[in-house]
Amino acid sequence: MKRKLISFLGNSVYKPCIYEFRGAQANQSQFVQLAILELLAKNGMEIDELYVFLTEGAKKKNWENSPEQVGLKEELERRFPRLKVIPEHIGSTQSEEENWKLFDQLIGVIDSEDEVFFDITNGFRSLPILAISVNQYAKVLKKSRLGLVLYGCFENNKSVAPIIDITSMITLMDWSVGVDNYLETGESSLLADLTKQEAKRIMCSSDEQDEAGLKLRQEIVELRRLTDQMDAFDRSIRTVRGQTVLEEIGKLRLALKEAQKLEAQAVKPLEKLLSQVEGKLQQFNGDPVMDLYEVAQWCYRHRLYQQGYTFLQENLITAVCIALEKDPSEKNTRYLIPRAIHIVLRKKCIDQWEEQDLAQQEKVEELVSFLSPLRTLLKSYDALTDFRNNINHAGMKENPVSYPAFSKMLSKLVEDMRPFFEQVSADSKISKHSATVLKKE
């Protein structure tokens, strides 16, 4: 992996200037490339290779020596003798065809896992858009990483000019892709990765002694806590962690609430994107029984069909445990609830019970008593069991189910089971209210 700076040299007359970046100043120079190399080194980002893209006119006017000035080539050799400098010659006209040629040239200088910096001070007006496109494409094709995107803001009547870091505006596209991916699929690893990169950038660029810098650091910590929690929730869904998924939802809602208080400019553009995430989480209202149901709904909406079938059946059992105030993780209880459902659905009299049910008659009777009024709401339970077994056994059964059928049936089952969860939620609240009243008496 190398740290590369991609820069552009025009054919204008450049005046000497003192450039500054992150509180440091470079030696006076008419070429912004010299200042950027110096200032990046002062900030611990020494460049390994510099690629200067230039037209034939720029080569004659500013790259090579002329009677009027020492060219950029000699200045680089003198001030950065160990730096590898590669001039890249480009056409002087702008057209769709020339832009594609330039795109190919830019991609060609980026190697696998390079960290790429862009200087877009000089050159064609289309360069910012081209830099964005190259960055996005190289990240996918070559797993490169964006360093900084810099612009030297020179003004004729000023001897000192800032070098502006516009990286956050470029990475906003990445954030948009990350949030869109999360909204569509529930997968949040891209957002977590982006936050880590942003945190690293802010920790390097901000001053913790400065009030604004300290605030920025505190806020990026909150943003990272949010995306880490989004990732934790996503992983608990994808690995079907029934004992922790509700806890992860609660943590996520809290982290989102804190993140929405962010005010710093570096993360301000994310405010509207975060509101989209908030809307997505509104289906979880804090009711433990209904939130269990919404987990299965979440899986269906994000095409996590195997997780959806598993959560729907297992969370149905957990909902009964909550209503009867039993430990949802107790193995025997979870074993008996499906057996009681089997009895209720088939209206079995006690003399028709199987031996293992009679062995725990008192416990099974309690469950049957609770579930009997809900019998019509459990009409799809057998289908749920069949489809769950089929998907979890990789279809290695007679009459394997096709992929489209899994999607269609999960949609139906999620809809069919909603009234059951709603009734169990209501029964659970009534039970707890009655217990509270009796306790007061």
Last residue of a domain, one of 253, 281, 309: 281
Number of domains making up the chain: 3
Question: Which pLDDT does position 70 carry in this prediction?
Answer: 95
pLDDT digits (tens, 9 = 90+) for 364-400: 999 999 999 999 999 999 999 999 999 999 988 788 8
Question: Residue 436 domain-assigned?
Answer: no
Place of tokens 């929730």: 233
Q: Does residue 187 carry a pLDDT above 60? A: yes
Last residue of a domain, one of 252, 281, 310: 281
120 and 224: one domain? Answer: no
* Range of lowest pLDDT (35-39, 209-213, 319-323): 209-213
161 and 189: one domain? Answer: no
Question: Which pLDDT does position 349 carry in this prediction?
Answer: 95
Question: Residue 359 domain-assigned?
Answer: yes
421 and 302: one domain? Answer: yes
Question: Which pLDDT does position 266 carry in this prediction?
Answer: 54
Question: Which pLDDT does position 434 carry in this prediction?
Answer: 40
296 and 410: one domain? Answer: yes
Question: Dihedral of the CA atoms 70, 74, 78, 82 (nearest 10)?
Answer: 160
Tell me what the mean pLDDT of segment 129-143 comes to: 88
The pair of structure tokens assigned to 25 is 């100043």
The pair of structure tokens assigned to 356 is 């293992």
Of 417, 256, 288, 432, give the one whose Cα is nearest residue 341: 417
For residue 435, name the pLDDT band (cuts at 50, 70, 90).
very low
334 and 385: one domain? Answer: yes
* Range of lowest pLDDT (28-42, 143-157, 370-384): 143-157
Paired with 89 in beta bridges are 54
Q: What is the span of the domain harbouring residue 233?
A: 171-281
Question: Residue 439 domain-assigned?
Answer: no
Question: Which pLDDT does position 199 carry in this prediction?
Answer: 82
22 and 158: one domain? Answer: yes
Question: Which pLDDT does position 318 carry in this prediction?
Answer: 97
201 and 82: one domain? Answer: no
Question: Which pLDDT does position 128 carry in this prediction?
Answer: 74
36 and 119: one domain? Answer: yes
Q: Does residue 201 carry a pLDDT above 80? A: no
The pair of structure tokens assigned to 226 is 């949010």
SS (H, E, C) the chain: CCEEEEEEECCCCCCCEEEEECCEECCCECCHHHHHHHHHHHCCCCCCEEEEEECHHHHHHHHCCCCCCCCHHHHHHHHCCCCEEEEEECCCCCCHHHHHHHHHHHHHCCCCCCEEEEECCCCCCCHHHHHHHHHHHHHHHHCCEEEEEEEECCCCCCCEEEEEECHHHHHHHHHHHHHHHHHHHCCCHHHHHHHHHHHHHHHHHCCCCCHHHHHHHHHHHHHHHHHHHHHHHHHHHHCCCCCCHHHHHHHHHHHHHHHCCCCCCCCHHHHHHHHHHHHHHCCCCCCHHHHHHHHHHHHHHCCCHHHHHHHHHHHHHHHHHHHCCCCCCCHHHHHHHHHHHHHHHCCCCHHHCCHHHHCCHHHHHHHHHHHHHHHHHHCCHHHHHHHHHHHHCCCCCCCCCCHHHHHHHHHHHHHHHHHHHHHHHHHHHHHHHHHHHHHHC
How far is the C-alpha of 303 from the C-alpha of 184, rounded, in Å? 10
414 and 312: one domain? Answer: yes
Question: Residue 78 domain-assigned?
Answer: yes
Question: Which pLDDT does position 169 carry in this prediction?
Answer: 79
262 and 295: one domain? Answer: no
Question: Residue 434 domain-assigned?
Answer: no
359 and 293: one domain? Answer: yes
Question: Which pLDDT does position 270 carry in this prediction?
Answer: 65
Question: Which pLDDT does position 202 carry in this prediction?
Answer: 78
Among 217-221, 374-378, 429-433, which range has the highest average pLDDT? Answer: 374-378
% of the chain with per-residue pLDDT over 90: 65
Higher pLDDT, 437 or 26: 26
pLDDT digits (tens, 9 = 90+) for 173-184: 788 888 888 888
Domain with residue 40: its CATH number is 3.40.50.10640
203 and 315: one domain? Answer: no
Q: Does residue 38 carry a pLDDT above 80? A: yes
pLDDT digits (tens, 9 = 90+) for 91-106: 888 788 888 999 999 9
Question: Which pLDDT does position 268 carry in this prediction?
Answer: 62
How far is the C-alpha of 384 from the C-alpha of 391, rounded, in Å? 11
CB 42 within 8 A of CB 20: no
pLDDT digits (tens, 9 = 90+) for 296-353: 999 999 999 999 999 999 999 999 999 999 999 999 999 999 999 999 999 999 999 9
Question: Residue 440 domain-assigned?
Answer: no
How far is the C-alpha of 122 from the C-alpha of 13, rounded, in Å? 11
Question: Which pLDDT does position 247 carry in this prediction?
Answer: 94
Higher pLDDT, 173 or 360: 360
Last residue of a domain, one of 103, 136, 165: 165
Question: Residue 437 domain-assigned?
Answer: no
